[in-house]
Structure 1
Amino acid sequence: MRIVSHPVLCNYYVTYRCNATCSFCDIWERPSPYVTLENARQNLRDLKKLGVRVVDFTGGEPLLHRQLPELLQEAKKLGLITTVTTNGLLYPKYAERLRGLVDMLHFSLDSPVAAEHDQSRGVRCFDKVMESIKLARQLGERPDILFTVFERNVSQIRQMRDEICLPNDLVLILNPVFDYNSVETGSLSNHALNELSWWGGQKNVYLNDAFVQLRLDGGNHIDKPVCKAGSTTLVISPENKLVLPCYHLGLKDFAIDGQLYDLYRSSEVQQLVALEGRLPACEGCVINCYMQPSFAVEVNKYWWKALPSTLKYNWVKGTWKQLF
């Protein structure tokens, strides 16, 4: 049963450029401009009109966009929930300007061991994440640690929580890795998935347990799709285009030209939206970016699996007040 019929999230790619070269990501390989403040103002108004509640200013590395604070201010003026995930390299430089503008600030960390994290990211940034945590807390911010979980680092969850998150009163977000396009990261074994599920119930740890269930079920199936990417999530590219049905598949894009509201509701776009989760490339997909909002709009077993962790996180962060 569908309970929300409008899009709830926008993945707003402010640039594809990045100052890291992560082995499990290919976004940084793409040439890219930066979004303009003028286009963003128009688009944010239309996103609000379409019913979107959360805007994820993403990349690439979003802090490479020098007007990111202004972009966040525009979103906050409209009452939108904002989220930013950063590798921490530039956060100390912009922390003061970002203060109070990011509802969900995530620092990416792939290992509690500096050398391992830096190798994963292709650049030395572990120390910058530690510096960013300290600075953010001094400014009264409440960042999270986003831990991308591979088979190789499941065993480090305890160390990550006990040595980094608990002493700093941070939420550890467990982000199960996924394959896409030509990027192969390796699947998670059932043993690893069960361990993730156990950790999701522990203090200061967040895991959407529906991610685990979906993987155990073999991912999205095109004959009965779980994915609602096209109808729940708007993807806007740095070129100011609407990308459908999702960024990772990128079947088609449309120039927005200041008409996002009308464009999204057009018959051509809605025909693509109707194919969400049903295209051949959608078989077996488990991409978290689209599954999390998909789980939130339709009552099924994944909705029930996701509910406890969603309530837990939003209660801890205080963002539950903005969801109603």
Structure 2
Amino acid sequence: MASARSGFMDLLRLVPRGGPAICNVSVTNLCNATCDFCNFAHDKGFVTHRRSLDAARFEAALGRLREQAGVRFVTFMGGEPLLHPKILDMVRTATAMGVQPTLVTNGWLLPPKAEALAEAGITTLFISIDAAEAEVHEKNRGLKGVCKRIREATGILQARGVTVIASVAMTRLVKDYDALARFVQSLGFSAITFSYPRKAALGSNSLVWSEDSDLVDMSKEELLAAFDGAEAARAIIPVHNPRAGIADMRRRLSGQGERFVCHAGYKYFYMDWNYDLWRCEDWATPLSSVWDFTPEKMVRDGCQACTTDCYRDASIMLHFPVAIGDAFARMREGRPFKALAALADRRNAGSVGAVIGHGSRLARLAGAG
């Protein structure tokens, strides 16, 4: 109870600053999979210099992000983050610092590490799933038998109270979203989240894209059908993409433009294995080295350049906390009507609705922090 109370109070103290921030951390560019739609795949040859984060410096880097940017949530990514020999140490470090860790993995290396990850402080874990059939998923991943390993790991994690979410890229491998929802349930997942297909090259050194994959070369009609499928899957399993987020993607496809702006560079960041801090994976130049980062380097310009789901969906949930922070700032400036305008923004209702939709998981995250 004391831990939950201290975590909640810590988040409350960030309200005048617009709430907490999130950082994606790519701890390595190594991967043991061969996914067709990702250039981290070890058989494609894009990774010419193997790099991994120097774990000895991670505590200092995260401490700087915590103080300078208000980071309270960190997502360990790759490549495949479980290939990093010190990943458990970094998870423990984040937890001890009051920064809630999550992790995205393909699941191959997970079973022998599952207990230790839960013990280290992971309360939510994402495992990639590519199709509604085990054989199709395993062929794309180049990991025969990985679904058996995933089922073993989810059983361990669920028994430890960890929320295990299937992370699914919307590609042509997913032909039936109802069947997909039932398949991930059979693997032991408690929820599903969708990422939107990425064909264009990212600006940063992240390789989560493929210009050559037919699987992500989807037409407008295919994408709209995929969004319909994702919404329909809610009848079978919880979908963690906010409804407002999927609505924004539909608006983008129709040319109307999104309602919500992206908060990457202000409340969401990407740190690579070199300790360079980027606005996001899609940006061409880093903000700075993490060692040189100060709040003055934050960027807030209403960007709508991409559809990267983790940034766009989180930005919807962050919209209301940011509006509260703006109201505090306008009051400090002696502009009460501007403060009221920030709170009266109609998008705040959609933001609050998205937060409520994630209520139980966010409460556990805050408590663990």
Give runs of aligned pairs for residues 184-263 of structure 1, distance below 5 A. Answer: 184=211, 185-187=216-218, 188-200=222-234, 202-218=236-252, 226-243=261-278, 245-252=279-286, 254-256=288-290, 259=291, 263=293
- Distance in structure 2 (CA, Å) of the matches to 1:228 and 1:107: 25
CA shift for structure 1 position 202: 4.9
Any conservation in 1 of the 2:21–2:268 contact (CA below 8 Å)?
A: yes
2:158 matched to 1:131?
no
- Distance in structure 2 (CA, Å) of the matches to 1:80 and 1:26: 29
- Distance in structure 2 (CA, Å) of the matches to 1:290 and 1:231: 11
1:163–1:66 CA distance, 2 compared to 1 (3 A): same
- Distance in structure 2 (CA, Å) of the matches to 1:276 and 1:321: 27
User: Equivalent pairs: percent with the same residue?
Assistant: 20
2:144 matched to 1:118?
no
- Distance in structure 2 (CA, Å) of the matches to 1:250 and 1:89: 32
Aligned residue for 2:294, secondary structure, equals: helix
CA shift for structure 1 position 76: 0.5
Give runs of aligned pairs for residues 19-34 of structure 1, distance below 5 A. Answer: 19-28=32-41, 29-30=46-47, 31-34=49-52
Question: Which among 61, 65, 72 is matched to residue 47 of structure 1?
Answer: 65
2:181 matched to 1:150?
no
Any conservation in 2 of the 1:7–1:234 contact (CA below 8 Å)?
A: no
- Distance in structure 2 (CA, Å) of the matches to 1:137 and 1:293: 24
Aligned residue for 1:45, secondary structure, equals: helix
Question: Which among 124, 131, 136 is matched to residue 104 of structure 1?
Answer: 124
2:75 matched to 1:59?
no
1:240–1:140 CA distance, 2 compared to 1 (3 A): same
- Distance in structure 1 (CA, Å) of the matches to 2:368 and 2:118: 21
Q: Which moved more, 1:206-215 or 1:174-183?
A: 174-183
Any conservation in 1 of the 2:131–2:137 contact (CA below 8 Å)?
A: yes
Per-residue deviation, residues 42-64 of structure 1 (Å, max 9, x unmatched): 01112221211210011110100
Structure of larger gyration radius: 2
Per-residue deviation, residues 159-178 of structure 1 (Å, max 9, x unmatched): 33334416836222233333
- Distance in structure 1 (CA, Å) of the matches to 2:166 and 2:197: 15
Any conservation in 1 of the 2:192–2:237 contact (CA below 8 Å)?
A: no
Aligned residue for 2:266, secondary structure, equals: helix
Corresponding position of 2:103? 84
1:317–1:234 CA distance, 2 compared to 1 (3 A): closer
- Distance in structure 1 (CA, Å) of the matches to 2:276 and 2:183: 42
- Distance in structure 2 (CA, Å) of the matches to 1:177 and 1:47: 29
Matched AA of 2:28: T
- Distance in structure 2 (CA, Å) of the matches to 1:166 and 1:123: 19
1:307–1:27 CA distance, 2 compared to 1 (3 A): farther
Any conservation in 1 of the 2:151–2:187 contact (CA below 8 Å)?
A: no
Any conservation in 2 of the 1:6–1:52 contact (CA below 8 Å)?
A: no
- Distance in structure 2 (CA, Å) of the matches to 1:35 and 1:115: 33
- Distance in structure 2 (CA, Å) of the matches to 1:316 and 1:289: 16
Matched AA of 2:149: K
- Distance in structure 2 (CA, Å) of the matches to 1:274 and 1:315: 29
Matched AA of 1:228: H
- Distance in structure 2 (CA, Å) of the matches to 1:305 and 1:25: 32
Matched AA of 1:277: C
Matched AA of 1:39: R
- Distance in structure 1 (CA, Å) of the matches to 2:258 and 2:351: 22
- Distance in structure 2 (CA, Å) of the matches to 1:13 and 1:22: 17
- Distance in structure 2 (CA, Å) of the matches to 1:37 and 1:321: 25
Corresponding position of 1:69? 88
CA shift for structure 1 position 139: 4.5
Aligned residue for 1:108, secondary structure, equals: strand
Corresponding position of 1:298? 319
1:13–1:163 CA distance, 2 compared to 1 (3 A): closer
CA shift for structure 1 position 154: 4.6
Note the residue ranges of structure 1 that are not aligned, 5 or more in a row: none
> RMSD of the TM alignment (CA)?
3.2
- Distance in structure 2 (CA, Å) of the matches to 1:296 and 1:306: 5
Per-residue deviation, residues 109-164 of structure 1 (Å, max 9, x unmatched): 11231221012223322332223223333445332222222254151x32333344
Matched AA of 1:68: I
Aligned residue for 1:242, secondary structure, equals: strand
Matched AA of 2:163: R
Question: What TM-score results when the alignment is normalised by the length of structure 2?
Answer: 0.72
